[in-house]
């Protein structure tokens, strides 16, 4: 980040010259004024990246601090550095209060100080730029999700704000309107089907059929008839003519899920249909023409399969017009909190009477401590089970532990105070345990003492007694 245009205001010509030298030396262009009012007028119609103001602009003129205030009122994002001949603490405080990012005394080291200060400003500007870009990206992401939500309901919403998921969303948006195949790759449970659905939903074909077939779930002899249909009497049991998925998907999208295990001959058949959009039903002679957009998915490593001679490179090339790679959840753990919140919200919508309304920070930590070999699907199942079994309004770490696979959960005994410390006398350990249970009940009820008492099966008075004894107020 380099600073483009710098406005310098100083009533001393030699300081203006020095400032101009320093900034031009850094590749900036400098506009100098000896009077603050002129700078304000100039800034009303021109853009600048930085202003450097002298504090004392001469008798009868507004001070640099006042000029700074006036500029900030109109251009709150323009960084301002204030220079001073003497530099008292009061001046420095006033400068910062007026919104200056830095305050520098004019002494023999002015040049060095300016350099340091400018680097600081550059960092601030870079920061602002990054934030703006991030906000922009977030807005785009929200817009895409909004379209998905409107178009097809919450069910197809893709959640995640990791850089990897942003990239996925950008690709989906880009390829959706292009009537060419898309290949979706990624380990199990990473959202391949969701992505395929999103591509269809965001395409001009959204209101046309969306047909899916799991190629691995059907024996190959049947797959042919499933995809291309058959004529009456094509094989034993084919009592009447049947349309295949390609015909059903005409005008819309066909999602070929788990394409990794088809035989090479069958892959050749698929390739032919992709290229000519033409095929015959099993035992049929009529050539049927369709207009189908194909999206294919697999969790196999197709590159390896090609090396092993198990996947046709020509089919790969055809399918890979656009490849969307979904990383494992472990590679984008920053998505875990938003995904957990999303699955909680969806579960609440779907099921009446769920007590949990929010997820505690401890529970989120626990979600983040596991590596999810089953990826997003596994996270979803764990969130739902934890929420289903929990009793309070706030999901606790213990609730998450109860739903995590046993080897991943931290045993609650470890979380209990003094549970293992056999040196302490029993009454103290019992007290510690009681205090822990009361605190846990408070957390589950968001510190509503009446509810916490009820959760523990205590009267309010009994609960209050322990509340005071253990000093359980929120710290
Ligand atoms: N980014 C995401 N946002 C919201 N939900 C997601 C996301 N990714 C996956 N899911 C949910 O996780 C579950 C699994 O996703 P999906 O079926 O799309 O995975 P897949 O990659 O097709 O898995 P498989 O290889 O096992 O078929 C679904 O319930 C899906 O809605
Ligand atoms: Mg799938």
Cα of 275 vs its chain's centroid, Å = 37
Residue 276 has pLDDT above 60, yes or no: yes
Question: 347 falls in which pLDDT band (50, 70, 90)?
Answer: very high
Q: How many whole angstroms separate alpha carbon 288 and alpha carbon 268?
A: 18
5-128 and 153-325 agree in CATH topology:
yes
pLDDT value at residue 156: 67
Mutate to test the pocket of ligand 1, among 377, 383, 384 (most ligand atoms within 8 A of CB): 377
What does the block give as tokens for 212? 């899916």
Cβ neighbours for 267, distance < 8 A, ≥ 6 positions apart: 311, 312, 315
Angle (CA) 235-240-242 rounded to 5° is 90
Please give the CATH architecture assigned to the domain spanning 334-412. Orthogonal Bundle (1.10)
Indicate whether residue 380 lines ligand 1 (CB < 6 A).
yes
Indicate whether residue 192 lines ligand 1 (CB < 6 A).
yes
Cβ neighbours for 82, distance < 8 A, ≥ 6 positions apart: 52, 53, 54, 55, 64, 65, 68, 95, 98, 100, 102, 103, 104
Q: Which atom of ligand 1 is nearest to the CA of 191?
A: 18
Q: How many whole angstroms separate alpha carbon 265 and alpha carbon 275?
A: 16
Each residue's pLDDT tens digit, 445-469: 778 899 899 989 999 999 999 999 9
pLDDT value at residue 413: 47
CATH of domain 5-128: 3.40.50.2300
**Least confident span in 54-68, 225-239, 297-311, 450-464:** 225-239
**Residue 160 gets which letter from DSSP?**
-
Mean pLDDT, to the nearest integer, of 384-392? 94
Q: How many whole angstroms separate alpha carbon 44 and alpha carbon 48?
A: 10
What does the block give as tokens for 81? 């550095």
Looking at the CA of 187, name the nearest ligand: 1
Distance 209 CA to ligand 1 centre (A): 21
Indicate whether residue 346 lines ligand 1 (CB < 6 A).
no
Residue 320 has pLDDT above 80, yes or no: yes
Indicate whether residue 377 lines ligand 1 (CB < 6 A).
yes
Distance 192 CA to ligand 2 centre (A): 6
Distance 265 CA to ligand 2 centre (A): 24
Cα of 246 vs its chain's centroid, Å = 35
Average pLDDT for the chain: 88
153-325, CATH topology level: Rossmann fold (3.40.50)
Residue 47's SS3 state is coil
Residue 414 has pLDDT above 50, yes or no: no
Mean pLDDT, to the nearest integer, of 146-164? 74
Closest CA to 35 of 15, 72, 8: 8
Indicate whether residue 439 lines ligand 1 (CB < 6 A).
no
Each residue's pLDDT tens digit, 125-153: 787 778 777 777 777 777 777 777 665 55
Mean pLDDT, to the nearest integer, of 7-27? 90
pLDDT value at residue 409: 66
Closest CA to 275 of 226, 220, 315, 302: 315
Answering whether pTM is above 0.85, one says no
Give residue limits of the domains in the chain: 5-128, 153-325, 334-412, 416-470
Q: How many whole angstroms separate alpha carbon 244 and alpha carbon 230?
A: 7
Count Cβ atoms within 10 A of the Cβ of residue 357 and give its class: 0-12 exposed, 13-18 middle, 19 or more buried: middle
Q: How many whole angstroms separate alpha carbon 275 and alpha carbon 177?
A: 19
Q: Give whichever of 8-22, 105-119, 231-245 has the largest mean pLDDT.
A: 8-22
Q: How many whole angstroms separate alpha carbon 43 and alpha carbon 419?
A: 68
């Amino acid at each position: 980040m380099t600073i483009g245009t710098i406005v310098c205001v100083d009533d001393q010509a030699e300081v203006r010259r020095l400032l101009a030298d320093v900034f031009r030396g850094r590749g900036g262009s400098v506009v100098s004024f000896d009077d603050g009012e002129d700078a304000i007028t100039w800034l009303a119609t021109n853009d600048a990246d930085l202003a450097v103001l002298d504090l004392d602009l001469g008798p009868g003129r507004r001070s640099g601090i006042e000029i700074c205030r006036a500029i900030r009122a109109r251009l709150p994002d323009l960084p301002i550095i204030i220079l001073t001949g003497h530099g008292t603490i009061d001046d420095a405080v006033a400068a910062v209060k007026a919104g200056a990012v830095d305050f520098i005394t004019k002494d023999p080291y002015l040049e060095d100080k300016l350099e340091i200060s400018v680097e600081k400003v550059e960092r601030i500007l870079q920061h602002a730029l990054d934030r703006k870009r991030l906000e922009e990206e977030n807005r785009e992401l929200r817009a895409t999700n909004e379209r998905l939500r409107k178009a097809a309901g919450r069910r197809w919403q893709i959640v995640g704000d990791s850089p990897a998921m942003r990239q996925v969303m950008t690709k989906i948006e880009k390829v959706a309107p292009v009537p060419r195949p898309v290949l979706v790759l990624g380990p199990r449970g990473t959202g391949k089907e969701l992505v395929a659905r999103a591509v269809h939903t965001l395409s001009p074909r959204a209101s046309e059929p969306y047909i899916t077939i799991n190629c691995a779930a059907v024996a190959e002899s049947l797959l042919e008839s499933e995809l291309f249909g058959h004529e009456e009497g094509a094989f034993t049991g084919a009592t009447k003519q049947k349309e295949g998925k390609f015909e059903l998907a005409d005008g819309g999208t066909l999602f070929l899920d788990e394409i990794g295990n088809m035989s090479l001959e069958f892959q050749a058949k698929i390739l032919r249909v992709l290229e000519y959009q033409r095929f015959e039903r099993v035992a049929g002679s009529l050539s049927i023409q369709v207009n189908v957009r194909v999206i294919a998915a697999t969790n196999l490593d197709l590159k390896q399969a090609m090396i092993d001679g198990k996947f046709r490179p020509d089919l790969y090339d055809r399918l890979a017009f656009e490849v969307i790679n979904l990383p494992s959840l472990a590679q984008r753990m920053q998505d875990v909190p938003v995904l957990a919140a999303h699955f909680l919200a969806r579960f609440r919508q779907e099921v009446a009477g769920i007590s949990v309304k929010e997820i505690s920070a401890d529970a989120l930590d626990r979600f983040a401590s596991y590596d999810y070999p089953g990826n997003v699907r596994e996270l979803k199942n764990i969130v739902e089970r934890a929420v289903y079994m929990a009793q309070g309004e706030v999901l606790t770490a213990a609730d998450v532990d109860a739903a995590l696979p046993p080897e991943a959960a931290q045993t609650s005994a470890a979380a209990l105070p003094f549970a293992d410390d056999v040196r302490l006398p029993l009454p103290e350990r019992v007290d510690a345990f009681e205090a822990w249970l009361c605190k846990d009940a408070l957390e589950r009820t968001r510190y509503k003492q009446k509810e916490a008492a009820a959760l523990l099966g205590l009267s309010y008075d009994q609960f209050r007694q322990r509340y005071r004894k253990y000093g359980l107020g929120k710290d």
